Every structure is written in C-alpha cells, then in structure tokens.
C-alpha cells in the first residue's frame, strides 16, 4: 500500500530496497512515466566460491559471515556455496558444518551476545522450514538441519544442504540462514553454476591465488564481487547495486547522487559578446 501510494504521488524519484517481486510491481506501476527516477536494489541468489585456501578457519569464518550474518537476512548473504575440487575441500566442509551447528541463537539482549537472532516473523520461519523440506524432497542431502527453537517465536537454527547434482533447484532467494552447498569439478564449472541464476547482486571468491580471483571475477554476473571477504561486506563508500533481477543499473549509496542531482550540466560564459563569426543566413542589421 505504501509503494502504491508513493508511485501515485507527486514525486521525482523512487529508490527502493526490498524483494524482487515488489520491485517488479513498482516498475510496472511506473511504466510510461519516464519523468520519475526509479532505482531498484533487490535481492540475490548469491554465490560464494571457495577454492584452494591454506587457512581453513579463515575461509570458514568468511563463509559463516556470508551465509548467516543477520540470521541470513541481508540481500547480499550467500545462498549458494560452490566448491571446486581442491585438497582441503572435504575438511573445510566438515569444519563448516561443525562450527555452524554451534552458532549461538537468542534475543538481542542476551548475555553473552548471540551470533544470530530471530527471522522477521513466524510466517518467514515457516517458509524457510518449508523450503528446506522441498530442497530435501528434490534430492538434497541435509548436512545441518534447520530447526525452530520455540513454536511461538521465529528463532531458527542455521541449515546447510548439499544440493550437488540435484536437478531443477528453484532459483529463489531464501531470506534466512539456509545455505545450499554444491561440489563441482573445476573453476569453469563453478562460474557456470554461479551464473545460473536470474539474480546478480553479490558474489565472493575465497582463494589464495590472485590470478584465480582475476580470472573468475571477470566472468561472474554480479554487481558486487569480493575477494577473500564475505559477500555481506559491501562498503558504504562505494556504489551498491546488482544486475539481472537484482537491480536496474542504478547503484545505491553515495553514488545515487550522480543520477539524482539536477541540473546535470551547464554551459556558461562570464560576458555576453557577439561571436567572431556570425552564422550564415543571419543579418543583425
């Protein structure tokens, strides 16, 4: 209702952050109204690629921060963990599952402070549990099962589901601590899987070799691509936005001023004088 009211109001621009479905609805409502600036920053089915790394604990921490920060309720959270073949891959998975299982969950004022709080509502908690059940029915192997800790409150635990080889996986943004894991053979396969989405907000690559990052980052279809940093580590000093159904090429943050400021250009002269050459066909008399 708020969005509909804004779209019908006498405004010069609408800058929206939220779901892809709502962003599309606003876009449709403003069709044929080019006088209104529309900037959309929507969600993502964001990939995190972990390749050859020497520090497994550091990689594990960045993965947890990517997937489960804010109880997975950031648009830049990693939804898909993609693992090419490398010597430490299985040990990395083992440590990730074991550590994620021990993440503390509780209210904001709990002492000591928990890592995760609740999801936004009981309805969202149920949606996440239903999504986990659906992914398992499709053939996913649950490595760490999401549980609702109390039936009357939306506190859920982190989940990791191995979706390797599963067909027809929904291209959805599950807005919570639900991480899908994929084993692939090569970097080429990793990039192909990372790009197999309608979204394109954020991505990250964890690897020791800078040449690997340079090669893969140039092929990823995303607006924000990090190296050895969590997917959720965007800087407010830089532009923020995605491609695909994650945005409409209007980066948010500080850089929004670049396309919202008017006038955009001005041609000026300190004095008004006749030019040395009068255009042909004009007689000034």
Active-site residue numbers? 41, 75
* Closest alpha carbon to 196 in 60, 77, 274, 79: 79
Phi, psi dihedrals of residue 277, rounded to the nearest 5°: -120, 120
Distance CA 100, CA 64 (A): 7
Answer yes or no: are the C-beta atoms of 143 and 162 closer than 8 Å. yes
Neighbours of 104 (CB within 10 A): 10
Give one DSSP letter per residue of 102-129, joined into a string: T--B--TT-SSPPSB---S-HHHHHHHH
Q: Which residues contact 133 (CB under 8 A, 6 or more apart)?
A: none
Structure tokens that stand for 52 in this block: 């050859």
Q: Report helix angle 187-194 to 210-217, nearest 10.
A: 40
| Alpha carbon distance 134, 201 (integer Å) | 24
Q: What are the backbone dihedrals phi and psi of residue 207, each rounded to the nearest 5 degrees, phi first? A: -165, 155
Interstrand relation of 202-206 and 46-50 (parallel, antiparallel or unpaired): parallel
Q: Compute, in degrees rounded to 10, the torsion defined by CA atoms 216, 220, 222, 225.
A: 0
């Amino acid at each position: 209702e708020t969005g509909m009211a804004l779209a019908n109001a006498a405004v010069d621009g609408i800058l929206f952050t939220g779901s892809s479905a709502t962003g599309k609805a606003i876009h449709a409502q403003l069709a044929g109204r080019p006088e209104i600036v529309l900037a959309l920053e929507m969600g993502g089915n964001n990939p995190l690629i972990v390749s050859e790394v020497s520090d497994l604990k550091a990689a594990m921490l960045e993965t947890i921060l990517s997937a489960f920060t804010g109880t997975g309720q950031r648009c830049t959270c990693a939804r898909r963990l993609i693992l090419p073949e490398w010597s430490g891959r299985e040990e990395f998975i083992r440590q990730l599952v074991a550590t994620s299982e021990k993440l503390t969950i509780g209210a904001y004022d709990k002492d000591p402070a928990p890592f995760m709080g609740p999801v936004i509502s009981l309805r969202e908690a149920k949606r996440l549990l239903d999504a986990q059940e659906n992914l398992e029915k499709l053939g996913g192997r649950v490595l760490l099962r999401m549980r609702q800790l109390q039936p009357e409150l939306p506190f859920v635990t982190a989940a990791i589901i191995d979706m390797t080889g599963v067909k027809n996986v929904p291209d959805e943004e599950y807005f919570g601590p639900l991480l899908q894991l994929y084993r692939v053979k090569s970097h080429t396969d990793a990039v192909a899987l990372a790009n197999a989405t309608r979204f394109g907000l954020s991505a990250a690559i964890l690897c020791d070799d800078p040449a690997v990052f340079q090669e893969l980052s140039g092929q990823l279809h995303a607006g924000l691509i990090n190296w050895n940093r969590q997917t959720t580590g965007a800087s407010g000093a830089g532009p923020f936005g995605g491609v695909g159904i994650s945005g409409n090429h209007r980066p948010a943050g500080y850089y929004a001023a670049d396309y919202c400021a008017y006038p955009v250009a001005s041609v000026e002269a300190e004095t008004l004088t006749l030019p040395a050459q009068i255009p042909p066909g004009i007689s000034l008399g």
